[in-house]
Chain A
């Protein structure tokens, strides 16, 4: 039997301590909760972080679509504005990756929006064909989302200067509409169908006959009550924390760590292909915004910091229980963002080195430190 060495040590110690008079009683049937009233913390998280981010994303997706339509009407204006609006939309999306649960996962909107790697083979086959370019057509081959659009509008980190072919342009328009509607669906499934008033969203849903399945905000706000998947408010808080830990891990071990490991093995060509957002050279901004997503979740609002933290935030809760841990988390978040931003740009051309190692280590450290919040449970 393979045993963890510490477990073995504990077993020996238990015997050595002397175990007399045992009553075989079990732990009391209380939940392993935090013993904290989280109603305001959860409300703040939903309203100021999640809905704020997804509303921003919805609006910026509308802007991107309008920019693409303007380009379609007059290609001579070039793709500069389209590319700028793509980068602008990328910010709230990456800042939402600290909460890749709920509709993003349950409705497979995450892979629909941000599938990587890009299937250039099928993209080119479809462009080269003569099929009608409709949303249904691109859905059946799974070639849509941010990186399809990125590939069509960027070249080596800058707006593409060559003119799009007629078919490429048609594909760009339909793929942008598809992505825009995905962001609408994501937002709508957090606020619930009855709360949708945006006429552009309503028009898109009417055209696609989109059904809104969730009002996922209520799952959090009703945590601990009948009808919520969260049996307690502590479970909802754990979901928020686990979302943050998950993205810290993914940025360090996969988004940065994956290409880094491949490059270290000497396969630089493949390593470059593994780098997400390399057509636009937006990778480092993507990764930093992923950690901003953690910062927003922790401090209870977008672009909040330790100095401006919401009084109803996870940070405030942690501080009330263990101020040193709050400081440790605050420092780890800032260190991670700074380490990622310190990597040489573009990441695709600078996949190894001490700066990259530092960013990977910072993500791993942040992941470990965030896990400590769970030590505050009763």
Chain B
């Protein structure tokens, strides 16, 4: 978490200018952004304009953008600490405390290590973890309403002396398939089960379970700064009957106001959910969510009077930290295999939903306590997402609705930074519940509106499939 950024080296700048004068070159952009070695970045490398960071290491997601300096830097590192440090169970401590009594993780960073996607306990422990869980478990009745005694999320951890709401376990069935050229792959389908219910046990046939592994916190500020008019146009244009593709926006309503959802697997959030995360994931109350998540449960009575456990200022520091993180530059953009893979990405029509280029709006975004971040505005960005909902088919149907999103509809996952996930977090688990163990499996799970792309990929030669994967690793 450091200011290791695209430092501007004046000497190199001078050299660059001389070279440009001699060679008479121009760039695609009116801004020249220099890499650490003093060379001008290729526009294709600039994932997020001036917020791009040139990093390939385990800290690639967890580095501030170059414009984070001075007092902004102080608040960035304060937010970083609040994000990473575990909350403790002292319910009166507004600075470090308030954990639980029910929770999922003990810090944001416990699930989002280095602002990425920690290896979920779903895989390391087969479900709920010991002490924290690396995934969220959404539950509801078959008719979509929530269970009164459990709410929206199953808090499967609790501080000492309190009982967790339940424990998740998973089993998998594996099916093997072949590409036309004979290469084998397999898909694993999870079956989830909840046991050790805090209160009334719920029969599996009455229950919908939707498990989500952590999202990579890449480009969060840019997502909040998206030009929503551009998204509306994209939604209107996202109608390709020849490929079975038709994206739509998720519209969410909070406090009688409607918002375009852009965050979360279902585009179910219009903000970075810092307040919701502290409340629902950590059990830390705030002005916006003053009640403990288990409020109303008989075992929670002793915890109802502690009041606010994190200040709005502190939460805004976390908001600022997330919004100010740099987005890793693409690597090897001119490598022949990467170029071929990029062509294959287009040939397979992936780009129709994984939109390569979008823009942030012109006006500055405001954080949750009113701080303005003008640096995110007016940027050309390469998220590889249209941030719209698409039918992904019955295989990925969790049956859990979220706003306008049906169980089978999912937001197009932004692919920026995805090629570094293994370096940052040590694994290549993809899709909402991590069932895909690598890029190939993730692609082969595409169905519904993604079926044509999946089929085009399936019919490619092995060399072409491999090239497409090489392209994904360059993102």
Contact = CB atoms under 8 A, between A and B. Distances in A.
B2 A116 contact: no
Contacts of B25: 19, 22-25
Contacts of B37: 32, 374-378
Report, as a range, how many residues of chain A touch the other chain.
35 or more
A301 interface: no
A119 B30 CA distance: 52
A258 B146 CA distance: 42
Interface stretch (A84-92, A104-112, A199-207, A330-338): A104-112
B57 A242 contact: yes
A64 interface: no
A20 B23 CA distance: 8
Contacts of A266: none
A339 B106 CA distance: 34
Interface string A40-62: 00000000000000000000000
B300 interface: no
A107 to B, nearest CB: 8
Interface stretch (B318-326, B350-358, B374-382): B374-382
Q: Give chain B's interface secondary structure class.
A: loop
Contact of B334 (A28, A121, A270): A28
A179 B182 CA distance: 49
A25 B425 CA distance: 36
Contact of B17 (A17, A29, A108, A238): A17
Contacts of B74: 253, 257, 261
A374 B7 CA distance: 9
B297 interface: no
Given A245-B2, A257-B77, 17 more contacts: A11-B32, A14-B27, A18-B24, A19-B20, A27-B39, A27-B42, A29-B336, A105-B58, A116-B85, A119-B89, A140-B131, A242-B2, A243-B57, A249-B3, A273-B95, A274-B95, A375-B12
Contacts of A3: 31, 50
B198 interface: no
A99 to B, nearest CB: 10
A193 to B, nearest CB: 16
Contacts of A274: 95
Interface stretch (B112-120, B238-246, B256-264): B112-120
Contact of A122 (B5, B67, B78, B88): B88
Contacts of A139: 130-131
24 contacts: A8-B31, A14-B17, A18-B21, A23-B25, A24-B26, A26-B42, A115-B86, A117-B85, A117-B96, A238-B55, A239-B56, A239-B57, A246-B4, A249-B1, A249-B3, A261-B78, A270-B95, A370-B4, A371-B4, A371-B7, A375-B9, A375-B12, A375-B37, A378-B37
A242 B59 contact: yes
B8 A6 contact: yes
B296 to A, nearest CB: 23
B56 A235 contact: yes
Interface of B: 1-5, 7-9, 12-13, 17, 20-21, 24-27, 30-33, 35-40, 42, 50, 54-59, 66-67, 73-74, 77-78, 80-81, 85-86, 88-91, 95-97, 99, 106, 110, 113-114, 118-119, 130-132, 159-161, 331-336, 362, 364, 374-375, 377-379, 422-423, 425-426
A7 B50 CA distance: 9
B26 A19 contact: yes
Nearest to B56: A235
A311 interface: no
A122 B42 contact: no
A166 to B, nearest CB: 19
Contact of A11 (B30, B66, B113, B426): B30
A324 interface: no
Nearest to B5: A371
Contact of A117 (B42, B86, B91): B86
B161 A125 contact: yes
B36 A117 contact: no
Contacts of B335: 29
B17 A246 contact: no
Contacts of A120: 88, 90
A261 B71 CA distance: 12
Contacts of B374: 2
Contacts of B89: 119, 121-122, 125
A253 B114 CA distance: 17
Interface of A: 1-4, 6-8, 10-11, 13-14, 17-29, 31-32, 101-102, 105-106, 108, 111, 115-122, 125-126, 129, 136, 139-142, 229-231, 235, 238-239, 242-243, 245-246, 248-250, 253-254, 257-258, 261, 270, 273-274, 367-368, 370-372, 374-378
A17 B86 contact: no
A105 B56 CA distance: 16
B4 A367 contact: yes
A368 B3 CA distance: 8
A29 B26 CA distance: 18
Nearest to B73: A253
A13 B54 CA distance: 24
A371 B6 CA distance: 9
Given A106-B426, A142-B86, A21 B24 contact: yes
Contacts of B110: 108, 111
B77 A119 contact: no
Nearest to A1: B378
A129 B50 contact: no
B395 to A, nearest CB: 29
B36 A374 contact: yes
A10 B378 CA distance: 18
A234 to B, nearest CB: 9
Contacts of B334: 26-29
A245 B4 contact: yes
A186 B332 CA distance: 33
Query: Nearest 10 pairs between A and B by C-beta?
Result: A1-B378, A29-B334, A249-B2, A374-B36, A106-B426, A377-B37, A119-B88, A101-B58, A242-B57, A253-B77
Nearest to B473: A231
B423 A31 contact: no
A31 B4 contact: no
B1 A273 contact: no
A296 to B, nearest CB: 18
A239 B88 contact: no
Contact of A29 (B21, B86, B332, B423): B332
Nearest to A29: B334
Contacts of B39: 27, 32
Contacts of A25: 25
Nearest to B88: A119
Nearest to B28: A24
B375 A7 contact: no
A7 B36 contact: no
A107 B335 CA distance: 33
A258 B78 contact: yes
B375 A377 contact: no
A246 B59 contact: yes
A7 B362 contact: no
B131 A246 contact: no
A254 B80 contact: yes
